[in-house]
Amino acid sequence: MTILKVDKLSKHFGGLIAVANFNVEMEEGELVGLIGPNGSGKTTIFNVITGLYKPTEGRIYFDGKDITGMRPDKITALGIARTFQNIRLFSELSVLDNVKVGHHLRLRSSPFAAAFGLPGYKREEEEIDRESVRLLERVGLADVAQEEAGGLPYGLQRKLEIARALATRPKLLLLDEPAAGMNPEEIRELMDFILRIMEEFNLTVFLVEHHMRLIMGICPRILVLDHGVTIAHGTPDEIQNDPRVIEAYLGVEEDEDA
Amino acid sequence: MRKQIPRILTIISILVFFLFLWWAEANLDPYLRRILNLIAINIIWAVTFNLIFGYTGQFSLGHAGFIAIGAYVTALLTLSPAQKEQSYFLSPCIWPLSNIQWPFLPSLILGALLAGVFGILIGIPSLQLHGDYMALVTLGFAEVIRVINMNLQSITNGSLGLKGIPEYTNLFWSWGCAIFTIFIVWMLGNSSYGRAFKAIREDEIAAETTGISVFRHKLMAFVIAAMFTGLGGGLFANLISTIDPNLFSFLLSYQVLTVVVLGGVGSITGNILASTIYVSLFELLRPIDQPMTFGSLTIPGRPGMRMVLFSIIFLVVILFYRRGLMGSNEFSWQWLFSKLRPIFKRRRMEQGE
């Protein structure tokens, strides 16, 4: 079943065409990678899907529902969660509270009930507490639950951001360069982590990444973007041998890495 | 059981405090009682400002406007018809208002509710803005309220102000309302809604993509704060018994801001501490306005001299406590115990020797 369908999406910023005629269809449970050089429009696509930007043209369907131009919090409530390239945690809140914020969208009690600590609210709060602790255990952050999120080491901050996204109970998770700034050891661990949570939480994952090994290693299907235009689409093997990709991306990247 | 101890201690200290108030109401002279009342009212304003600024991260300078609405509504409802007839000599008070006189409690409640309504009206446009822009717009709205109060001659009596407002506010009213406000803001701040407010303060975009309706929550914090600010305004009017529009200028909003920054943004106990210090210091420094003689040097009395000293004290505090007296920490019994334990231990050791 198709879970996400992006149809002829374009996003212009004044005269700059950040994304032009982008199309993708994702099946439930799929892991799709999106690569491209810096400034090729990957993050813009994420921002449009999650409602932070309004598209200039095109439509986005999630679970068969048109979500084009909806508010970000409504889109999250429908089941799309994301992480950010430059980690955006609630730095001064504790690790546990960061995850608890992810549960807020399902809270039924009114602010009145919360302010007076009515029994209905207390029950919900206990439930949130229990679930948040369990989620932290599942992702391996239980030891640092009471620490301030901003003080965590980089790798754990990445993990916490994913945990917070999971707390909203998404069907589709958008990961924006989760491996940025990680060493090969951490990247291997991250690959396992992504595959594990996909399985455990029944997720579909859309992954933007710069890091070739990560994306070639775990994504069965990859899209390549250059200057907002989709220049290739296929399996890792097909992508690696596509002359346009090599020209636009891999060749340059290889030189830089060397 | 151990978890219950701090709560029991809090309840006991509140009870002891009310016993003190009961004693104070009967025995203290009116001047000291007034200072205690002003401390309570300033606590209400500081705590509500903290809800908007400290928790939700929205920089609003519109407090004076909400205080004015609460003060005027409560004052107009509690004023006796005879007093109104006497005061409104430029143009008479309009009809239904000229005849009614309500008891204190419903007047306070209506004042708070109307301040909340204005909170919605002002919040909807200004919460679309960020940072300094929001501060400017709310400051502007508060000034608009002041100018309207100045010109609605037949309702607010314009710049003549209102006189002879019954002095209903006593220590039980002011501190009762203050403790109620603290309770609500504290409970809300530590609830799931409080976490959502703080998430918005920390990172609005991340909060949005974590499923929080940012605007709805900002407005919620703003309106709740406006309501309780108006409540404080009503208590204030019935304490000082004479109000005029210029009492609620932007200077009053700055006063609230000063108290909150002094105590520590985001700390309710800091707000309480700072309100107490601010109001007490304001009175304690009064002699400085009087003429002073140092040996052969005589300084003539200058009203406002204490503000100079006050500013210096404020500067020094901010210099040494950059995040206010309490930072964003709260007083807790556990903290007190951890401070006290070494002292007792030492004493026991000394006795042992």
Structure confidence at residue A196 as a pLDDT band (50, 70, 90): very high
**Mean per-residue pLDDT for B286-300?**
79
* Residue A172 reports pLDDT greater than 80: yes
Which has the closest alpha carbon to A228: A3, A23, A70, A33?
A23
Kindly provide the ipTM of the predicted complex, given to two decimals.
0.91
* Residue A258 reports pLDDT greater than 50: no
B335 assigned to some structural domain: no
Sign of the C-alpha dihedral, residues A241, A245, A247, A253?
Answer: negative
Q: Does residue A119 sit at the B interface (CB-CB below 8 Å)? A: no
Which has the closest alpha carbon to A4: A74, A72, A68, A84?
A68
- Asked if B184's CB is within 8 angstroms of A104's CB, the reply is no
B47 assigned to some structural domain: yes
**Mean per-residue pLDDT for B16-33?**
93
Beta-bridge partners for B242? none
Query: pTM of the prediction?
Result: 0.91
Domain that includes residue B29, residue range: 11-249
Q: What are phi and psi of A108, to 5 degrees?
A: -100, -25
Structure confidence at residue B117 as a pLDDT band (50, 70, 90): very high
B275 assigned to some structural domain: no
B308 assigned to some structural domain: no
- Three-state DSSP at A204 gives strand
DSSP string of A31-100, one letter each residue: EEEEE-STTSSHHHHHHHHTTSS--SEEEEEETTEE-TT--HHHHHHHTEEE--SS----TTSBHHHHHH
Which has the closest alpha carbon to A35: A203, A206, A194, A243?
A206
**Mean per-residue pLDDT for A96-101?**
97
Domain count, chain B: 1
* Residue A64 reports pLDDT greater than 50: yes
CATH no., domain A1-79+170-258: 3.40.50.300
- Look at A39-53, B85-99, B165-179 and tell me which has the smallest mean pLDDT: B85-99
Structure confidence at residue B353 as a pLDDT band (50, 70, 90): low
Residue in chain A nearest B210 by alpha carbon? A102
Token output for A104: 């807020």
Cα–Cα distance between B181 and B193 in angstroms, integer?
16
- Asked if A165's CB is within 8 angstroms of B195's CB, the reply is no
* Residue B50 reports pLDDT greater than 50: yes
Contact status, residue B220 vs residue B193, Cβ threshold 8 Å: yes
B229 assigned to some structural domain: yes
Q: A122 CA to chain B: closest CA distance, Å?
A: 9
Structure confidence at residue B296 as a pLDDT band (50, 70, 90): confident
Half-sphere exposure of B123 (CA within 13 A, CB side): 24
Q: Does residue A158 sit at the B interface (CB-CB below 8 Å)? A: no
Task: Give the model's pLDDT for residue B343.
Answer: 80
**Mean per-residue pLDDT for A207-221?**
86
* Residue B289 reports pLDDT greater than 90: no
Cα–Cα distance between B55 and B40 in angstroms, integer?
21
**Mean per-residue pLDDT for A61-79?**
94
Which has the closest alpha carbon to A88: A140, A143, A158, A136?
A158
- B265 contacts in chain A (CB < 8 Å): none
Residues 6+ apart with CB under 8 A from B46: B256, B259, B260, B263, B271, B272, B274, B275
B199 assigned to some structural domain: yes
Contact status, residue B234 vs residue B166, Cβ threshold 8 Å: no
DSSP 8-state secondary structure symbol assigned to residue B301: P
Range(s) of chain A covered by CATH 3.40.50.300: 1-79+170-258
Task: Give the model's pLDDT for residue B93.
Answer: 81
Task: Give the model's pLDDT for residue A216.
Answer: 86
**Mean per-residue pLDDT for B174-196?**
96
* Residue A86 reports pLDDT greater than 50: yes
Angle formed by the axes of helices B305-320 and B268-284, nearest 10°: 150
Q: How far, in Å, are A178, B218, B324 from residue A53 at the CA level?
A: 21, 21, 38
B300 assigned to some structural domain: no
B118 assigned to some structural domain: yes
Task: Give the model's pLDDT for residue A251.
Answer: 56
Residue in chain B nearest A113 by alpha carbon? B188
Task: Give the model's pLDDT for residue A249.
Answer: 66
